[in-house]
Chain A
Amino acid sequence: MTDTTLQYAAHGHGDPHHLRGLQDSSLGHEGPAPKRIVTAYGFWIFLLSDIVMFSCFFAAYGVLLRQTAGGPSGSELFDLKSVAAETAFLLISSFTCGLASIAADVRSARWYQVAMAVTGVLGLCFLALEAREFADLVSRGAGPTRSAFLSAFFTLVGCHGLHVSAGILWLLTMMAQVAAKGFREDVCRRLLCFALFWHALDIIWVGIFSMVYLLGSAV
């Protein structure tokens, strides 16, 4: 190791881009990144593409917001109390999902299963409220075929609901895998991806309750 790199390390501003000696060939990269980083990074790219897909649905909803074809508008349809409850369920489930990843990292199977079970139950409560809301809308003659506005609404919110359903199936799978195989390295990688997925769903829900329900009921 050369003296110059030591000096770089000693002076903080000697390495403004935080390369930490990477520019020095003698300290070059030690081969490919660990599998955990590669897997999670790939999954992160997938999540971003999912967010881009949702952004198309958001754009469609924004464009079609006033195209109600003489039918009911958002302010006549949306029940904000139910939306607030859905938001609370999903937000707290995101928190318990975080607790589950802490429990997995300290290898506490019991707390992991408890936290995951709570996360799943909260997700199911969210889905139940959403299903009730959709059934109520359809029974009032405001189904997805009523107007362009309602088509866009059902596509966007329904797509998020499908993601949550898939997330709950994944959550049950992860509970079973940890019970059967323990905290093996590959199981832990899947857990990391699951946590990312669940938190990303919550981010999309933030967009939905703000833009679709709160802004939509102002129209």
Chain B
Amino acid sequence: MSEQQLHQFHEPLELAPGDEEEARVGPRLVGYLIGLGLSILLTATSFFIAGTDLVWQPSIPVALTVLAIAQMGVHLVFFLHITTGPDNTNNVMALAFGLLIVFLVVGGSLWIMAHMNHNMVPMQIMPMQH
């Protein structure tokens, strides 16, 4: 068996969250720079979209949500180094569970409360009791 094949078997199977596979300084620096650049781009777009009347107004909340989720993804990949690599499975599974709970809490609350607001009889229309 060659050296390379031996190495392949004894690679670490897991990475700690925040750890990078790349050990050299140059590529790591470039990674952080890319993350910073993408974040600045997405943030600037968010602030621009929120203040402009160049786009169809009802699309603004959706656009802001999408941009926010994209930027969170950029932070996860370039700053926290949570990737889809096989050595990151545990970290990604924990993240997926966390996201499920976040989605249930936020989405569920907004959905239920919107329905309750919608179905509640407005106070002014109710007949007087006496």
List A residues at the B interface (Cβ < 8 Å).
1, 5-6, 9, 18, 20-22, 27, 29, 33, 36-37, 39-41, 43-45, 48-49, 51-52, 55-56, 58-60, 62-63, 80, 84, 87, 91-92, 94-95, 98-99, 101-102, 105-106, 192, 195-196, 199-200, 202-203, 206-207, 209-211, 214-215, 217-218
Q: How distant is the Cα of A40 from the Cα of B64 in the complex, in angstroms?
A: 32
Interface of B (DSSP majority class): helix
Residues of A within 8 A of B15 (CB): 37
Residues of B within 8 A of A55 (CB): 101-102, 105-106
List, in ascending order, chain A residues with CB within 8 A of B5's CB: 6, 9
The 4 A-B residue pairs with the shortest CB-CB distance, nearest first, are: A18-B86, A40-B16, A48-B98, A210-B68
Closest chain-B Cβ to A86's Cβ sits at a distance in Å of: 11
Q: Which residues of B contact A (CB under 8 A)?
A: 1, 5, 8-9, 11, 13-19, 23, 25, 28-29, 32-33, 35-36, 39-40, 43, 46-47, 50-51, 60-61, 64-65, 67-68, 71-72, 75-76, 79-80, 86, 90-91, 94-95, 97-98, 101-102, 105-106, 108-110, 113
A210 and B11 CA atoms in complex are apart in Å by 41
B16, B76, B108: the one contacting A37 at CB < 8 Å is B16
Q: Are A91 and B36 in contact (CB under 8 A)?
A: yes
